[in-house]
Structure 1
């Protein structure tokens, strides 16, 4: 059995992996053969049974659609269909965030389950396969967090976010703009951490009253408010609304 494990890079494999793959070419003869379906092939240099192949790859995007197609097709061509098993993981950027360890660890347990199933009978159940490709976070939230890690604004915001921001602009004091200084790198990390907290919010726990948690990062001289309602949890930098509870932490 051969296990290939590497991150998706520009819709394919990293150059180091491609170099390794190229060096396996001498395992085939230079002569051209023909398969039963009419396709061309190089006969194997050494007579042996084809090994089982497991391909594991993480993708930075939130979806696998039009993302892993080229890589999957290359391995499908190189490997007999009944011997190839693939595990593709979306939202790979999240695994770099220690603050999201609870969510990513839960996801990795699903991957371990897939490994146990494969070790048992060389297949992954449809239920586990579906669980592996499910997004770890809502897509809009993931896009925002991923773009914030680069210090840029997200390309799109939900209607709920735009509505909330518009309301804050209308009710904010006149000098609020002076207080909205750009975030430093450390403050941006705190904001990403707070956004991660908001992703854990469960709307079913809503009890009919809006709750506002203020997070004060005293060593960074910045604070954010998590506004929780019946639909979701929004993170804002400033709001005239009083906090229901406050946590101050260095």
Structure 2
């Protein structure tokens, strides 16, 4: 398996740091980072996504409905992106500087994913994630969601790309909301258009690496390395429903880092 420190890598290596040392500062927002994932983070993403799906299915409008499997996969993708972005930003600014609604599972929240405050200023950010597989060639941002981000005065997107069950995610630099005006707008048959850009363009523009390098080094060889897809999308959801009240209690009372919380939630779900 290749690593980002291979001599053949033409650009500077991605930086990996799994602990919570002193905050690194705002410059981290302008760098590409490799974020380590483990089973507990994937389990937590599925747990929060499943609780959100149960709440959102009651009010989901027809053009946002992709069926049970599609809704679950989309919600896992969204939550995993928020988790990675929060870890990314915790390392930049420290736990106390971050405000987010990741733990809100009672229904939609009309706010940005993450707010970061430092030096008398605030960044309002949205996480946008792609859980890649071989069928996907585009990075998408739902057009309606984009309009909500503009209305919420979000200052930028944090792009994230990974593969299902992977031990790694790539978090890119913040990029301006307005830059998506250059993307295509496509409707894939649901009357629910999305802003789209080919991964061959997206990666060099927003992740500072070629698509070939991102795919070969950080996606293809890492899929299902810490969790199997079937476990995440079919087996775990049933366990999560059974432990719903315990999980919600952990979410409501948590004051710890995402990684510490994830270990608690994973222990609840895998205890039986």
So what's the TM-score if we normalise by structure 2? 0.24
So what's the TM-score if we normalise by structure 1? 0.26
Select the structure with the greater relative contact order (CA < 8 A; seq sep ≥ 6).
Answer: 2
